[in-house]
Amino acid sequence: MRTSSSAMISLLYILLFSVSLATSNTVHENFLHCLSLHSSPSAPVSTVIYTPTNSSYESIFESSARNLRFLSSSTTKQPKLIFTPSHESQIQAIVICSRKHDIHIRIRSGGHDYEGLSYVSDVSFAIVDLVNIRSISVDTQDESAWVQAGASIGEVYYRIAEKSMTLGFPAGICPTVGVGGLFSGGGYGNMVRKYGLAGDNIIDAHLVDVNGRILNRESMGEDLFWAITGGGAASFGVVVSWKIKLVHVPSTVTVFTIAKTLEQGATELVHRWQFVADEIHGDLFIRAVLEVANASSTGEKTGRASFISLFLGNTDKLLPLMEKSFPELGLERTDCIEMSWIESVLYFGGFSNEESMDVLLNRSSPSKNFFKAKSDFVKEPISKIGLEGIWKRFLEEETPIMRLSPYGGRMNEISESETPFPHRLGNKYIIQYMLIWEEEGIEASERHIGWMRRLYSYMAPYVSKSPRAAYLNYRDLDLGTNNNGNTSYLQASIWGTKYFKNNFNRLVHVKTKVDPGNFFRNEQSIPSLPLWRKKKRE
């Protein structure tokens, strides 16, 4: 055992040296030695390290990465090492030794970060990929579950439904998203109006801190616990697992989708939807999705709005609600489909009703493409003229999408400072702008991103201002970045107040306390304040 693992270490050392991670070979020898010292004999870190010369390196690197923009870019941005720990003690060893030997790490759970921050970096780095830390245990008696950070939300939903048809969890819509990123940045889905965000329903967590200790809610304290339930955990440590509070779902829910093109009155309906969707009964979530489509009559390009809905109840209860508040949509009994909550997860995930629940366990994304996304919050309904300007810009592109998700309900009852996610009362809905494309290359990328930026500037008058708020989980580096982690407070507060409003200051305070040396960092991590640090030491 000992011999084989030290042989492995020497082999690794040679591999590392040959790919010139080493500025000084002793550093890396020492790093690997440190890892072996801190590994437990039953779970040595050496068995979960992938170097670029390993034949599995590329497939592991690409496995969960979602945005092709960051897979095709130069290999200098790729990690020098990928760790795939399967035991929390390995995460502790990786953190202790990386910090000691100044190895920059990125933490990856589901790999869905819009700007690739979990798997690419301008500076030499290693990935800690939590794909093998993903067990889930559901306790139906206690109506809670422990979920490890590398699990996808599809896996979480599946494991809940396996045990109970009347419990669920309010998180994201796409099943392949990881709970490490999703929960720590807020995380909303189609039960947001009834139960709030995923982050609002976390009751405990295990986190490896910068000293390699495993902390729970009690030992980390309420400040740090608060920070990781909406402030993005990547600035504070490695989340190993979450304890979540499950919520009640009825045994029968109702879904419907009604789509209308511009010719069929899409603009009027979207306009009207803005007055209804955040005020209607909290059991009803109606998302509006704007896209480009072909008109069925002429085949010509047109705009289309789809109203995709989940109602936590049956059709008999839904129809009168809609008749009273949103008759313009013309919902009829034949549009309504009753099903179980877990079937509605598949419906929203875009799977056909023939598909087995097992697709939720499939972590591969059906498609990978190049994309750029942004977000906005809307406080006042956008005028019809404003909406027409959106369609005009849409028709210049191939596959633009705007997803408008209503808030209101439970979201209005939670104060702005309850968690770092501040976008509560006063926000009618969140906009996700998404543009996907298939062509490779810088030129295509710049053209499409340019279009997205023009749409975003067009929207400025219609959305929240001072700050123009944004959602952390719809990461957008156009809002500003840290410069190798050496960022002034003022510079970071530009994007920081967009994501967190006044909570930004408290996040900086927590960061300065728990990670003063800024070990956990990326292009948009919370800065620690050097001045405070100095004062403290004196």
Ligand X SMILES: *[C@@H]1O[C@H](CO)[C@@H](O)[C@H](O)[C@H]1NC(C)=O
Question: Where along the sequence are the contacts to ligand FAD (CB under 6 A)?
Answer: 66, 106-114, 117-118, 130, 149, 172-174, 177-178, 180-182, 184-185, 187-189, 232-234, 238-239, 473, 522
> Which span (43-51, 100-108, 114-122, 270-278) binds ligand X, by CB under 6 A?
43-51
- Least distance to ligand FAD, CB of residue 278, Å: 17
Task: Please list the residues that pair with 106 across neighbouring strands.
Answer: 127
Least Å distance between CB 294 and ligand X?
A: 4
Q: Which is nearer to ligand FAD, 16 or 191 (CB)?
A: 191
Which strands make up the sheet holding 81-83, listed edge to edge? Answer: 49-50, 81-83, 125-129, 104-108
* Contact set for ligand X, span 264-293 (CB under 6 A): 293
Among candidate residues 119, 158, 474, 499, the one labeled active-site is: 474
User: Which pairing describes strands 125-129 and 104-108: parallel, antiparallel, or unpaired?
Assistant: parallel
Beta carbon nearer to ligand FAD, 177 or 255: 177
Q: Give which of ligand FAD, ligand X, none residue 109 binds (C-beta under 5 to 8 Å, depending on kind).
A: ligand FAD
* CB 291 to ligand X: min, Å: 7
For the bound state, the minimum distance from the C-beta of residue 183 to ligand FAD, rounded and expressed in Å, comes to 8
- 18 binding ligand X? (CB under 6 A): no
CB nearer to ligand X: give 264 or 325: 264
> Interface mask (CB under 6 A) for ligand X, residues 297-326, using x and -?
--x---------------------------
- Tell me: does residue 205 bind ligand X (CB under 6 A): no
Looking at 366, 441, 461, 517, which residue binds ligand X (CB under 6 A)? 366
Cβ-in-10-Å burial (0-12, 13-18, 19+) of 172 comes to buried
**Cα–Cα nearest to 191, from 168, 208, 220, 217:** 168
User: In angstroms, how far is CA 384 from the centroid of its own chain?
Assistant: 31
Round to whole Å and give the CA distance between 104 and 429: 37
Site string (472-501) toward ligand X, x via CB under 6 A: --------------x---------------
- Min dist CB 118 to ligand X, Å, is 20
Which of 53-61, 145-153, 217-225, 243-251 is the region at the interface with ligand X (rule: CB under 6 A)?
53-61
CA distances from 164 to 158, 250, 341 (A): 10, 11, 10
Return the closest-CA partner of residue 350 out of 197, 192, 175, 160. Answer: 175
CB atoms within 10 A of CB 338: 16
**Range 121-148 burial, b when 16+ CB lie within 10 A, else e:** beebbbbbbbbebbebebeeeeebbbbb
The four Cα atoms 197, 200, 203, 209 give a dihedral, to 10 degrees, of: 90
293 binds, among ligand FAD, ligand X, none (CB under 5 to 8 A by kind): ligand X
The answer to whether residue 471 is catalytic is no
Query: Is 383 among the residues that bind ligand X (CB under 6 A)?
Result: no
DSSP string, 298-319: T--EEEEEEEEEEESS-HHHHH
Write out the H or E segment, with its range, that includes residue 288.
strand 284-294
Contact 258, 335 (CB under 8 A): yes
Tell me the two tokens of residue 73.
Answer: 């870019």
Q: Which of 298, 364, 415, 457 binds ligand X (CB under 6 A)?
A: 364
Q: Which residues are catalytic?
A: 474
The site for ligand X (CB under 6 A) is made up of 47-50, 54-56, 293-294, 299, 362, 364, 366, 486
